[in-house]
Structure 1
Amino acid sequence: MRGAMLNPIVIAAGGTGGHMVPAESVADELMRRGQRIVLMTDARSAGQKSAVFAGCERHVLAGAGLAGRSLGRRLLGVAQLARGTVAARHILAKLDAAAVVGFGGYPSVPPVLAAATLRRRPAIVLHDQNAVLGGANRFLARFADHLALSFEGTAGLPGRARATVTGNPVRAAISVLAASPYEPPAETIRLLVLGGSLGARIFATLVPEALARLPEGLRRRIALTMQCPGEAIGAARGALDAAGITHELAPFFSDVAPRMAAAHLLVARSGGSTVAEVATIGRPAIFIPLAINTDQRHNADVLARRGGAFRLDQATTTPDRLAGVLESLLDDPLRLAAMAEAAASARIEEAAARLADLVLSAIAERVR
């Protein structure tokens, strides 16, 4: 008989925060319900500090992405995935896992493939963070008992998928600020710019140049907080000082949640977690998706279609273009308030609990 403490639930996740944040959130929820959690991850994530996974059994598996690589590197990647799958199968058989929950990306592939080959097959649940099903989950969906989606109308679903919209679990620091009241700017305008490592490099040039093009009276009201690579801070600070913009620049902010809640407007990339956080708190945003990532464009459109965000494509977004959008929004507090309300309308409550419910339901189906 498979039970909570004897038969663990395996979380298969790694790589970027976009995969790890929802994995941590649902693991925390499942542990709160008395479940034993085991993490299977990749080398990139193995050394990351995690309060949730700190006390959990961990297994680091071989693996590599295949998309966008040369033939030689793809063959090497296939070999690494195969090695990781063999190792995962041995571990899963020994654990007699009740379920494997995959969160997309190549680190989820070996554990899910291995689970599908076991005689005592655990329940398999996949979660996708984007508005378009990711490549790993498209491949693995054929083995899954359930597919958990972050957005209504997610594209790229296989015809026979048992799909449920659970939402995208966000960090606890974000969830406690859900539906925080939005106060339109009166005098000071708090502008928050986030972009991750790749986005910040581009934003470090684009945003100061755009702000410099705003009318002086508007520039003097802006209090900018911007994520900025260390090597770009000097140039960005010089441009902002010349434009008369009050600013705080840093490569990383540990307190993003309260800064987001305090912001009157965000400029950001549109990864699944970022869009979920913006919707959870309910703040107007200008999304500039990563140019090489079509998923981010679709994610941004989830809020843009509701009127909660603007989507600007990186290839066509000049400083003049961004300045025009910023001026039209920052000069119209009522419009910002309406956008905040529209963004909040996309929020899916209790996403971690919904996903945990789905996992436990899938386990119960297997036990019958």
Structure 2
Amino acid sequence: MSRLIVLATGGTGGHVFPAQALAEELGARGYRLALITDRRGDAYSGPLGSLETHTISAAGVSGRGKLGVISALARLGVGYFQARKFLKRLKPDAVVGFGGYPSLPAMMAASHLGLKTVVHEQNAVLGRANRLLASRVDRIAASFEFTAELRARDQKKAVWTGNPVRPEIAALANRPYPEIAADSSINILITGGSQGAAVFGQTVPAALGLLSADLRKRLHVTQQVRAEQLNEVEAHYADMDLAADLRPFLNDIPEQLTAAHLVICRAGASTIAEISTAGRPAILVPYPYAVDDHQTANAARLCDAAGAWMTPQSDLTAESLAARLTELLNNPRTLANAAQAAARIGMPEATYQLADVVEGLVDGNGKDGLKPAKRALEAAA
């Protein structure tokens, strides 16, 4: 019988997307797979939706009051015993967690049962659940070469794999950046993650309205707009006679990235992985309320590589964005250079490298052979 790998994930798309990519790759390598997740797992489709799924109790602790924390801890405790029961029955060859509190009970149980364990960290800051697990697991797979909150004693088990992306995104690594010729159209992609970003619906249309008429008529905008803002944003672009494709959810991101000359977006882990894999320049506006401000850390990694420009949401105004767009859109060479820089740190091979880490752990042969992940300077204290 083929070997069994259990994936432990849940929560936001940033945790789920890498698990989906890994599931597809490990399945192609002949492994059997099972999933331990929270109640949101019922909605999964694709590679995760077809797996044998075991649902456990889980809850996040951050941002809750005292009673909320007590309730969340109780639910995590129940989830631990549920996961332990499942794992004792399944007897997997390894358990892979993807951060977030839904993965915590299963990974703690796996550690206590002496199973082989890997956690994958999507962000440039080691998440709180993964911090709790770091000293207990066998391997830590990092998306970024430098990861904040990675302790010195855990660095020896950390490897730099990158953040897995969908095969359709990985294929974009071979697509050239589209040339911006004189007087040709310029494609701008605006996306705010799975929920959209209200600030983009408010600020981007106003900023585009401040551009010169000659520049504005060259633009084609594809924008994710929250449903409650859609009519207002549509009216604004219609008044400007600006070509725009506006939707609450963009289900064709690979196609949109292929055509994009510039992306305006948040700085979630999956977003950074996708735009760097595709090699597209971006204006990044990190979500200001992310736990440990990890989106700012994510954005900094891409900006330090000269592949993007970051603007804190508190500084984002129509005027500042219009000035930035005028500068960039009138200098195609600047955008093309940033595209090349983003592509240099893209890791379309991340799925295969993470699978190698898991397979090497199962086989006990150290197969991964990857560069070590390092503590970020801000975490050195």
* TM bracket (short chain): over 0.9
Correspondence for 1:32: 28
Aligned to 2:220, the other structure's residue is in SS state strand
Residues 269-299 of structure 1: CA deviation (Å, up to 9, x unaligned): 0101110111111001000000112111111
Residues 161-184 of structure 1: CA deviation (Å, up to 9, x unaligned): 210000000011101111310123
Provide closer, same or farther for how the CA distance between residues 228 and 244 of structure 1 changes in structure 2, counting only shifts above 3 A: same
- The question of whether the paired residues in 2 share the 8 Å contact of 1:19 and 1:103 is answered with yes
1:1-368 residue pairs with structure 2 within 5 A? 5=2, 7-49=3-45, 51-118=46-113, 121-161=114-154, 162-186=157-181, 187-293=184-290, 294-365=293-364
Residues 319-354 of structure 1: CA deviation (Å, up to 9, x unaligned): 111111111101111111101001001112411111
Whole-Å separation in 1 of the counterparts to 2:198 and 2:49 = 32
Residues 91-150 of structure 1: CA deviation (Å, up to 9, x unaligned): 1001111111000001110100111111xx211100000111111101111111000000
Offset at residue 198 of structure 1 (A): 4.6
Offset at residue 261 of structure 1 (A): 1.2
Whole-Å separation in 1 of the counterparts to 2:204 and 2:354 = 37
Whole-Å separation in 2 of the counterparts to 1:65 and 1:290 = 19
Name the stretch that deviates more: 195-204 or 147-156. 195-204
Percentage of pairs with the same residue: 41
Aligned residues: 360
- The question of whether the paired residues in 2 share the 8 Å contact of 1:197 and 1:229 is answered with no
Residues 4-49 of structure 1: CA deviation (Å, up to 9, x unaligned): 62x5211001111111110011111111111010011111232222
Provide closer, same or farther for how the CA distance between residues 46 and 223 of structure 1 changes in structure 2, counting only shifts above 3 A: same
Offset at residue 199 of structure 1 (A): 4.2
Q: Partner amino acid for 2:108? A: L
Please give the TM-score of this superposition, normalised by the length of structure 2: 0.92
Q: Partner amino acid for 1:154? A: T
Please give the TM-score of this superposition, normalised by the length of structure 1: 0.95
Over aligned residues, Cα RMSD in angstroms? 1.4
Aligned to 1:104, the other structure's residue is in SS state coil
Aligned to 1:52, the other structure's residue is in SS state helix
Provide closer, same or farther for how the CA distance between residues 53 and 198 of structure 1 changes in structure 2, counting only shifts above 3 A: closer
- The question of whether the paired residues in 1 share the 8 Å contact of 2:193 and 2:268 is answered with no
Q: Partner amino acid for 1:125? A: V
Whole-Å separation in 1 of the counterparts to 2:217 and 2:244 = 11
- The question of whether the paired residues in 1 share the 8 Å contact of 2:195 and 2:226 is answered with no
Whole-Å separation in 1 of the counterparts to 2:174 and 2:262 = 15
Whole-Å separation in 1 of the counterparts to 2:196 and 2:289 = 12
- The question of whether the paired residues in 2 share the 8 Å contact of 1:101 and 1:126 is answered with yes
Offset at residue 366 of structure 1 (A): 9.8
Whole-Å separation in 2 of the counterparts to 1:315 and 1:100 = 41
Whole-Å separation in 2 of the counterparts to 1:295 and 1:203 = 20
Offset at residue 197 of structure 1 (A): 4.8
Any runs of at least 4 consecutive aligned residues in structure 1 with deviations exceeding 3 A, and if so which?
Answer: none
Q: Partner amino acid for 1:147? A: I
